[in-house]
Structure 1
Amino acid sequence: MIIVLKQNAPADQVAAFCTELRGMGFEINDSTGHDTHILGLIGDTKALAESWVLANPVVDTCRRVSEPYKKANRKFHPDDTVVDVGGHKIGGGYFAVMSGPCSVEGKDQIIGIAQRVKAAGASILRGGAFKPRTSPYSFQGLRAEGLELLQEARAVTGQPIVTELMNNEHIPLFLDAKVDMIQIGARNMQNFELLKAVGKLKIPVLLKRGLSSTLEELVMSAEYIMAEGNPNVVLCERGIRTFETSMRNTLDISAVPMLKKMTHLPVVIDPSHAAGIAFMVPALAQAAVAVGADGLMIETHNDPAKAKSDGAQSLTPDQFDALMGVIRPELEFFGKTLN
């Protein structure tokens, strides 16, 4: 149930009302916007009469919510959430570009790429230390060494880092490395124990949509994280599996406006994994800006032909420079602020 309070309702009466509701067993999601103050009740509200709620002098109106996700629901939180990643904002008009190689392969490689993408306008450095691969014989990442190299790149460039967490056992390594943003990959979108674990960390989370997942399933996965106390979730559309075989996945560009309607969380697009082909990345990136995304995640490699993973979808630093030159005026046109 959503309860909209009257403007300028006395704080002591609101506090007393909240205490009464908590005493009835409800959890309250308290959201104060520019013009509204909303209490989102989480729990079994079937026995709670709307007439009883409306009788309270601080209540303006109330309505029941049918969606199973509560904390992520825009109805509970009308204003856009802005997630801060190492001083760089995502959402609420702030646009962030995350760029770097699919896999961290060496010190010179990661630092060199970090310097190039930062100079072009990327605010967050991406790079895989632990790599989930379809084949057990493919390169699995440098693991702990990869995290150390990401830290070195951050020390050189000042960029916060985002990298993928694959299981609970690696959490101590991520904490030691002071990872600025934890990525939950498409394959782990419904690894609920992992979602609950990162929910307890309070570190910003980039949650990627599963290859065959619905938007409600994606938002419900975000709900797992938020239910543990971590509100800093960014949703990522990275392409879904369809009948089309000419590209790696099909970018669901319509996911952005629909997710914006469903939830208050920031939404970014990963055009690299969506297409799997480098030449398509710039066009999909431009479409992402036009449709209202809050950021981009783009793979950039100094030598894609020799990349140990996903070279075919990686841009060169020069190509990334060109892409940023195109989207900067587009962002300005749509009123977005590039971090």
Structure 2
Amino acid sequence: MIIVIKSGTPSVEINRLSQEISSVWGITPEIVPGKHKVIIGLIGDTATLDPHRIQELSPCIEQVLKIEKDYKRVSREYRHGQASEVAVPTPNGVVYFGEHHPVVLIAGPCAVESEAAIVSTAKRIKAAGGSLLRGGAYKPRTSPYAFQGHGESALEMLAIAREASGLGIITEVMDTADVSRVAKVADIIQVGARNMQNFSLLKKVGAQDKPVLLKRGPSATIDEWLMAAEYIVAAGNPNVILCERGIRTFDRQYTRNLLDLSAVPVLRSLTHLPIAIDPSHGTGKSQLVPTMAKAAMAVGADSLMIEVHPNPAKALSDGPQSLTPDQFEALSKELEMVGKVLNRWPQPVAALV
């Protein structure tokens, strides 16, 4: 249930109303400042609450609405149709994710392999217009014999690359025990597709204040994905970015997954959270990444996550879906043209020196 407050209502009256609701019904209201109006969200057992009785509490109440969906805080209704934004401080300034901001480019290797490689790749990504560097320190792999990442030493390499390039860092956490360690380095913590419904992990990342990028599970419905996001927000962290990375399908011959671009407009109608697209995992083939990246921008994605490796043929993981730095630079220039048409590009892509 949400209470829409009339424009111009003094904050003292909003706080008084919030306290009265808490004392009368024992529910902790959440005051959500919006671009045009303030909303008070009522989370919990609101089934027996009478909207008319709430309306009578104050003349500053414009409307009382019930949220029918199981996911409350992440629903579009919770913000009265307004989109939210996620602000990410980086060495190069604050990066904003959201439908009213330029598209954010995230790029880097699937896994951090060496200090020299991650630093050189980060510099190329920055020069080509990227804002954040992705790189796995801890890697969930289908086979127990596949490369699992360098762990804590990879986090140290990411910190060095952050210092050298000015890019923000996004890396995945797999275990609740590693959340605080990853949060010391990462500007965004990634919850991978295989952990989308690891509810203990969702609660843990929700209890810390770094933004969270939540990837869709390979067999997850959109409602299940949004409920996973609700776990994070309900634990106290409102800064969640949803990332579509392809879902499992019956045809694995031509693409690794089925990249569900229709999820973008669907999510836009259901949630206020920013939406990212990962065309690298979504297709599994580097030659398909540029086309799907441009298509993702066309349908309204707020961010793109693209795998870039200095030598994909020798990559320790996901080489076939990785672009070279030169290919990423060429793609960035194409994305710039699309972004300018859509009025969602920050500035001309810097030329490499």
The TM-score range, normalised by the shorter chain, is: over 0.9
2:246 is the alignment partner of 1:239: yes
Query: Residue in 1 aligned with 2:26?
Result: 25
AA aligned opposite 1:69: Y
- Deviation of 1:10 after TM superposition, in Å, equals 4.0
CA–CA separation in structure 1 for the residues paired with 2:132 and 2:29? 34
AA aligned opposite 1:257: P
- Deviation of 1:20 after TM superposition, in Å, equals 1.3
CA–CA separation in structure 1 for the residues paired with 2:20 and 2:31? 14
CA–CA separation in structure 1 for the residues paired with 2:240 and 2:37? 23
Residues 97 and 123 of structure 1 are in contact (CA less than 8 Å); yes or no, is this contact kept in structure 2? yes
1:122-201 aligned at under 5 Å gives the runs 122-175=130-183, 177-201=184-208
For residues 12 and 84 of structure 1, do their structure 2 counterparts lie closer, same or farther at Cα, with a shift above 3 Å needed? closer
- Deviation of 1:48 after TM superposition, in Å, equals 1.2
Query: Residue in 2 aligned with 1:38?
Result: 39
- Deviation of 1:338 after TM superposition, in Å, equals 3.3
CA–CA separation in structure 2 for the residues paired with 1:251 and 1:156? 33
With the length of structure 1 as denominator, give the TM-score of the two structures: 0.96
CA–CA separation in structure 2 for the residues paired with 1:46 and 1:254? 33
Task: Indicate which of 63, 75, 78 corresponds to 1:76.
Answer: 78
AA aligned opposite 2:122: A
- Secondary structure (helix, strand or coil) at the match of 1:75 reads helix
Residues 285 and 296 of structure 1 are in contact (CA less than 8 Å); yes or no, is this contact kept in structure 2? yes
Q: Which moved more, 1:26-35 or 1:216-225?
A: 26-35
Task: Indicate which of 262, 282, 287 corresponds to 1:279.
Answer: 287
Question: Residue by residue, what CA displacement relative to the aligned partner does 1:8-42 show, whole Å, maximum 9, x if unpaired?
Answer: 23433332221111121223232232322222211
- Deviation of 1:215 after TM superposition, in Å, equals 0.9
* Structure 1 vs Structure 2 CA RMSD: 1.3
Residues 158 and 185 of structure 2 are in contact (CA less than 8 Å); yes or no, is this contact kept in structure 1? no
1:1-339 aligned at under 5 Å gives the runs 1-23=1-23, 24-55=25-56, 56-77=58-79, 78-85=81-88, 86=90, 87-91=94-98, 92-175=100-183, 177-245=184-252, 246-338=254-346
- Deviation of 1:57 after TM superposition, in Å, equals 1.4
CA–CA separation in structure 2 for the residues paired with 1:70 and 1:179? 28
Q: Which moved more, 1:231-240 or 1:8-17?
A: 8-17
- Secondary structure (helix, strand or coil) at the match of 2:293 reads helix
Question: Residue by residue, what CA displacement relative to the aligned partner does 1:252-299 show, whole Å, maximum 9, x if unpaired?
Answer: 001011111111110000000000000000000001100000010000
With the length of structure 2 as denominator, give the TM-score of the two structures: 0.93
Q: Which sections of structure 2, spanning at least 5 residues, go unmatched?
A: 348-353
Question: Residue by residue, what CA displacement relative to the aligned partner does 1:189-217 show, whole Å, maximum 9, x if unpaired?
Answer: 00000011111111011100000001111
Q: How many residues align?
A: 338
Q: Which sections of structure 1, spanning at least 5 residues, go unmatched?
A: none
AA aligned opposite 1:166: M
- Deviation of 1:74 after TM superposition, in Å, equals 1.2
Percent identity over paired residues: 47
Residues 93 and 335 of structure 1 are in contact (CA less than 8 Å); yes or no, is this contact kept in structure 2? no
